[in-house]
Structure 1
Amino acid sequence: MADTLKVGVVGPMTGPLAVMGEQWRQGIETFMELNGDKAGDTTIEVVYRDTTGNPANAKQMAQELIVRERVQALVGFGISPSAAAAAPVINEVQIPTFLPHVASPALMDASPYFVRLGQNIATNAEVAAKWARESGMESAYVAVADYAPGHDVANAFKPAFEGAGGTVTGSDNIPLSTVDFSPFAERIAEAQPDMVQLFIPPGAQAVSMVKAMAARGLMEDTLIMGQGEAEDSDIHLFDGTIKNFHSAIYYSESLDNPENEAFVGGLQAKFGEDVLPSTFTLGAYDSMALIYALASEMGADFNGDAVMAKLAGYSWASPRGKITLDAESREPIQDFVIRRVEDVDGQLRNVVVDTIPQVHPISGS
């Protein structure tokens, strides 16, 4: 009888962050639809647990998957506090854990068994700063949500922009409870920067901030750069005011390569032609690609140290392009793209306007 490898997926399946869990599921099911449920002679079985987005539940859910379900690999967590809460359990049992979208630069220090499949957001900010300077932006304003990831963005952007000869003319830490973004947009407009480095949680807050900036004319006259505020899967939440929004990130639905064609085609064949991928979808899809590659070689014997040794420096072709896992940091070395929201055949889409090849993640220490 062939071995079975059980993969535990733990994260927000319900609650305010449920879109993350929903899109992970889409990415996982798309990969398995395209590749079957076997990696070599090993059957892959996926078991889900819901944290409701509460980090306090993450450790318990991870323990339940490991002890009761006897999973040999974990995927998920979604937000850095959830992954950090589960790290002691992961370290004790030495279980490989694939992070589709945990973005804190410092998180990887919490466990030698973490593998990042998304981004270290400090890297995004550094890419944005350097690209903006190369594009002639002399002054910048930094407006970020007032929690750890926002601070990571601000702390990476400012030295990179100033180190390249630019000037940061102002900054705001915007409380997560903010409903009225007009005072922040007013301060940005008064500072008259060439660009704004933005980091706002996707969804209602990002929509409100963009509309506030548009009301002050900033979307027309100023380079506004973010990361995942306007993913193609969420772009329907915005009106035309999102046009010209730029993002520095590692994936676009429009990338022209065979892997992305298969990914997008498989996603839409399974979930509907109007469904668009996000970095959440992609992170889960690529997590499964690694798990299948390892299981094809190792079977269900997922010894943590052996898995991590095989992943050091591992490269593969993803829908985002070539990825290599940095042997030291366990983070992806990957292409970054600069996207701009444009009207494409009557629909708003992110269009790639530049590519920065094979970016190394910056240290989170």
Structure 2
Amino acid sequence: MPKAAPTADAHPDTTSTAPSQTETTKAVTYADAGVDISSGDRAKDRIKYLAKRTFNRSVLGGIGGFGGLFQLDLKKWAEPILVSSADGVGTKLKLAFDLGIHNTVGADLVNHCVNDIAVQGAAPLFFLDYLATGKLDPAVTEQIVTGLADACKANGCALIGGETAQMPGFYQDGEYDLAGFIVGAVDKSKLITGATIAPGDVLIGLPSTGLHTNGYSLARKLFFEVAKYKPTQYIGAIGDKAGTALMKVHRSYLAIMQKLANAGLAAGMAHITGGGITENLPRILPKGTCAQVELGSWPVLPIFEHLQALGQVPQDEMLRTFNMGIGLIVVVPADKFSKVRALLNRAEEKFHVIGRIVKGDRSGDKAGDRKVHFV
């Protein structure tokens, strides 16, 4: 016999709560994920305008290509050597966020990078930046890039490109990171390497404006966690507000370095950044030499003395964390010292004789070569 047809109640419930293919769903865009392309485009238009102010005839094309184009003028150098460097602003940016000051960190970055290549005798050619944030704020971006462009212009350097990245969920609201990349050139015959540094050479220190861009993790801890200062609080010991003192712009030494280099008076130059004198001066010392630096031979800025007192920071820790008031050290042959002194005085450049190069001591278990001895 044929089986009876099953009744409707015999079927399992096949009703689905999932949307059917005929139902419409809202389209998800990049903006829904947190990236506002339109806002980014508006910011980039402003960046193009600011960058163009730094262009010279060596810059080919404009901002917006896949790569920045720069034509090296071979008439300026018989044997051009390209010198490059990259750096960031570091946790000094935290202060920029707290104070809402964004027009100086670009100058910090450019000047730092310029100094790094100028110590080798190089003239800056072009600069690129990397700005990354969670959500792009066009007003903040314009302040940052204005600082970059102004500093590039002041240093004779073209801002020819970079990257502006929106990465929602990666950075906290209102925060960003900033890094820079620089390329310069020097004639091979005028490259300053420190190879000719010899015992008897004089160490000349040029003053810094403050912390520049190094040691901020320790400085912020001492000011804002240990001492409980507010960024806007006036501190009598340093004669300034906490935030203002810490935000002082990293100085560019380009002009005075070029005068010394062009006159052939510098055997070596060291940019005193992270690691202080302790770790940066040895980078230019040749084998068989070390540096003898006389503590007390220059005025330590009050901010460093106050930081040390707040945390009872050991002296050697201070010297390898902060610049302690010396942002650049020039090594000068003793027989050229009078010419250097005259050049610095004509340029109205303050300076301090802070020590000498001495013969390296290889006695004992530890080699004394390429070291700094503080006396």
Give the TM-score taking structure 1 as reference length: 0.25
Give 1 or 2: higher helix fraction.
1
